[in-house]
Amino acid sequence: MKIEGLVTCPDTKARAGQIQTDHGPINMPVFMPVGTAGSVKSLSPVDLIETGSQIILGNTYHLLLRPGMDIMESAGGLHKFMSWSGPILTDSGGYQVFSLGQLNRITEEGVVFQSRLDGSKHKLSPEISMDIQRVLGSDIVMAFDECTSYPATVQQARSSMQLTHRWEQRSLDYFRSTQPIYGYEQQLFGIVQGSVYPDLRKESAKTLVDMEFDGYAIGGLSVGEPKDDMYAITDVVTDILPQNQPRYLMGVGKPEDLVEAVSLGVDMFDCVLPTRNARHGIMYTWDGPISVKAAREKDAHIPLDANCECYCCKNFSRAYLRHLFKANELLVYRLASIHNIHFYHELMAGMRQSILEGKFSAFKKDFFTRYNLKRAETNK
Amino acid sequence: MKIEGLVTCPDTKARAGQIQTDHGPINMPVFMPVGTAGSVKSLSPVDLIETGSQIILGNTYHLLLRPGMDIMESAGGLHKFMSWSGPILTDSGGYQVFSLGQLNRITEEGVVFQSRLDGSKHKLSPEISMDIQRVLGSDIVMAFDECTSYPATVQQARSSMQLTHRWEQRSLDYFRSTQPIYGYEQQLFGIVQGSVYPDLRKESAKTLVDMEFDGYAIGGLSVGEPKDDMYAITDVVTDILPQNQPRYLMGVGKPEDLVEAVSLGVDMFDCVLPTRNARHGIMYTWDGPISVKAAREKDAHIPLDANCECYCCKNFSRAYLRHLFKANELLVYRLASIHNIHFYHELMAGMRQSILEGKFSAFKKDFFTRYNLKRAETNK
């Protein structure tokens, strides 16, 4: 998977470009809303398109447990099931097994775990994960890895990384030996591990590049390590990954993280923060996040952001949103999610435009000058 | 408020026509979705328009308690607050005081009650209710009445009706002595009471007609009385109400109730059933209501209704809806509400069209032939 029209920033490692999928092109850098269980929480496909979403993420773990792969297959894959005609990226299921599942056993073969829903036993392995992602029919498939927990000693991190490399090679071999089910192409991304150890991360990046994946992800970050470690490791890894293939920093992050990581050469992101925060009334603005549930918004008959073009800001006031939150009205979760997802996409689009115009450094400086102003208000 | 273009059915008392408000015309017969607390649960104004909603209902009681009239006034009224540019009808608050409020005292003057939210004390009287509805800025204002509880003895019903008549006269006098706040006209409807007693209902209808309201509602039905009583009373009342003014049967009802009541000469309806049932997975079809959460829908990769033009049916399968319900995904409450509200509006539009074409009796017969087929499945 080659990046087309790659443009790089003269001062930083930021890049802009486009990748092609059989469900449409993706302008990068890009943020991918998370559709955990076959739905980006509270948003319809039309909402996603109107907020500027180009690609969404689906979670293999959740979809495997519910509705299950028999239903996903009879539906004709995840796109048809959820009526989303754009590109989809699915994770391998590994991360949720380790973070959410009741893990019974890890062996060289794979993992056995119990469903958090009904206690039923399930297996995941590189081959099973590839089979599942073939059934889901995602445009971008993630290799099956072990997300190294934090903190880990260097020995633990190395051992986990080596297992990940063997699993990723098996993912790749099996994936290349199978065919898409639904008549369109699927791409496979490898995942760099190695915890917070630069030498391990370099080794992991080189090993994966040698395997020749379609794209590369940086996994095992944003799992509790200091921010500086996250940025330093990202910096180390993007120095090694091929310039002309996409790079995806998994599970990141806050708006300021996206700006930092783009400047370090990352192209793709996913995170539940904008939708989760929206459901709690934490709304993103260019001056930083605010709580629209706060008493001071009681009679604020003004939009969250007077310059925002989202459906929420064009039609509804902070006072109305606050009222809906207080009254537990379902509408507000959607309106708030529309705004936050739109904000994330606007942030990415702003970065992209500034890179294309050779002005990314100025964009980044302006962003932090303004966003920092009120950041102390809330740290979401 | 005169009905324009009134067309009557040759066989039944069914009528079709149009009324004008400063927020647009309303084709009747019409169903009004209920926006209890400034939001038709889970639906945006665009959703309401796309499902065919012409007018929505707001609840004075709920809006008085939250967000409160200071915020409603600084917002510039309910239309602006909730960003709904079509007509709005508000109730008087009386019904909820009796059914939801902690009622402290009823006097000739009015009622005193405690908020179910914070225990604060509030007063409602004919004059206060009119003032509140002026602030809300509804296009159609309801007179302040006492909704006679069921069952009631004839003495209780008469006494309650007489109080209602005195309160309605005061509502009318006060309303006529005040002006709209926001520069557009408001209309006042009177409410016929009298429980299940035909003679009281006749007396009530005649008394209200003599007062000369802009339109007339039938209150105190669908409160536990037998269906036959509901229909018989409606029949008695519509015989007395003026032909050329709108008639509104409050809080009704199920699809079959709407068809029966239209045949008895009713023009307007409101009910929370389509949205409440939607949130519980009870979906309306022309074959009767079904539960989309049922196990048999697990891999039903077909829409709720293949001929339905709503956003839900055009894009999503029963299997997907069932999955979203099982996963408690917020999106489904909206999709299901879109379908049910759309179904109600299609039912009203079908009745209207058949009346205009002089074929209402056939429409009614066809409806019950088909709708009864599966009605036994669920009684929602």
Q: Over the stretch B280-323, which tens digit does the pLDDT of each residue have?
A: 999 999 999 999 999 999 999 999 999 999 999 999 999 999 99
**Contact: A66, B298; criterion CB under 8 Å:** no
Pair of tokens at residue B366 = 């066809």
Within 10 angstroms of residue A372's Cβ, the number of other Cβ atoms is: 12
Residue holding tokens 């004059």?
B127
- For the stretch B37-64, pLDDT in tens is 999 999 999 999 999 999 999 999 999 9
Chain B residues within an 8 Å CB radius of A65: none
B166 contacts chain A (CB < 8 A)? no
**Contact: B74, A317; criterion CB under 8 Å:** no
Going across the sheet that includes A121-124, the strands are A102-106, A111-114, A121-124
Chain A residues within an 8 Å CB radius of B330: 39, 41-42, 330, 333-334
From B235, B257, B267, B270, active-site residue? B270
Q: Give A 322-341 residues with CB within 8 A of chain B.
A: 323-324, 326-327, 329-335
Instruction: Report pLDDT for A116.
Output: 84
**Contact: A45, B315; criterion CB under 8 Å:** yes
Instruction: Report pLDDT for A308.
Output: 98
Instruction: Report pLDDT for A23.
Output: 98
Instruction: Of A91-95, A275-279, B190-194, B341-345, give the lowest mean pLDDT range.
Output: A91-95
Instruction: Report pLDDT for A94.
Output: 87
Burial class (CB in 10 A: 0-12, 13-18, 19+), A118: exposed
What are chain B's domains? 4-271 (3.20.20.105), 278-377 (no CATH)
**Contact: B329, A37; criterion CB under 8 Å:** yes
pLDDT at B105 over 80: yes
Element (H, E) at B335: helix B331-356
Determine the residue type at B356.
L
Q: How far is CA A28 from CA A5, A18, A281, B338, in A?
A: 10, 6, 28, 35
Instruction: Report pLDDT for A202.
Output: 98
B104: confidence class by pLDDT, cuts 50, 70, 90: confident
Instruction: Report pLDDT for B374.
Output: 58
**Contact: A330, B335; criterion CB under 8 Å:** no
A91 catalytically annotated: yes
Chain B residues within an 8 Å CB radius of A69: none
Pair of tokens at residue A175 = 């994936």
Within 10 angstroms of residue B97's Cβ, the number of other Cβ atoms is: 26
Closest CA–CA distance from residue A280 to any residue of chain B (Å): 14
- For the stretch A71-95, pLDDT in tens is 999 999 999 999 999 999 999 998 8
pLDDT at B215 over 80: yes
**Contact: A38, B327; criterion CB under 8 Å:** yes
From A91, A139, A145, A267, active-site residue? A91
Instruction: Report pLDDT for A95.
Output: 87
Residue of A nearest to B74 (CA): A299
Closest CA–CA distance from residue A227 to any residue of chain B (Å): 32
* Inter-chain contacts counted by CB atoms under 8 A, chains A and B: 122
Closest CA–CA distance from residue A47 to any residue of chain B (Å): 11
pLDDT, mean over chain B: 96
B83 contacts chain A (CB < 8 A)? yes
Low-confidence ranges of chain A (pLDDT < 50): none
Closest CA–CA distance from residue B221 to any residue of chain A (Å): 28
Instruction: Report pLDDT for B100.
Output: 78
Residue B86 has what DSSP assignment? S
A317 contacts chain B (CB < 8 A)? yes
Chain A residues within an 8 Å CB radius of B301: 74-76, 80
B112: confidence class by pLDDT, cuts 50, 70, 90: very high
Considering only CB atoms, B37 lies closest to which of A81, A319, A327, namely A327
A361 contacts chain B (CB < 8 A)? no
Instruction: Of B65-79, B108-122, B162-176, give the lowest mean pLDDT range.
Output: B108-122
Instruction: Report pLDDT for B376.
Output: 53
A305 catalytically annotated: no
Instruction: Report pLDDT for A190.
Output: 98
Instruction: Report pLDDT for B97.
Output: 85
Instruction: Report pLDDT for B1.
Output: 93
Chain B residues within an 8 Å CB radius of A325: none
- Span B329-354, average pLDDT: 98
* ipTM of the complex, rounded to two decimals: 0.97
Element (H, E) at B190: strand B187-192
Greater model confidence, A226 or B97: A226
A298 contacts chain B (CB < 8 A)? yes
A199 contacts chain B (CB < 8 A)? no
When scoring B36, B39, B59, B326 by the number of chain A Cβ atoms within 10 A, the one with the most, hence best to mutate, is: B39
Look at residues A14, A33, A89 and name the one whose alpha carbon lies nearest to residue A354: A14
Considering only CB atoms, A324 lies closest to which of B39, B323, B329, namely B39
Chain A residues within an 8 Å CB radius of B77: none
Considering only CB atoms, B330 lies closest to which of A42, A299, A317, namely A42
pTM for this structure?
Answer: 0.97
- Contact between B318 and B302 under an 8 Å Cβ cutoff? The reply is yes
- Span B164-187, average pLDDT: 98
pLDDT at B102 over 90: no
B84 contacts chain A (CB < 8 A)? no
Residue of B nearest to A72 (CA): B299
**Which residues is A291 bridged to in the sheet?**
A282
A368 contacts chain B (CB < 8 A)? no
Instruction: Report pLDDT for A96.
Output: 86
- How far apart are alpha carbons A268 and A32 in whole angstroms? 7
- How far apart are alpha carbons B29 and B42 in whole angstroms? 24
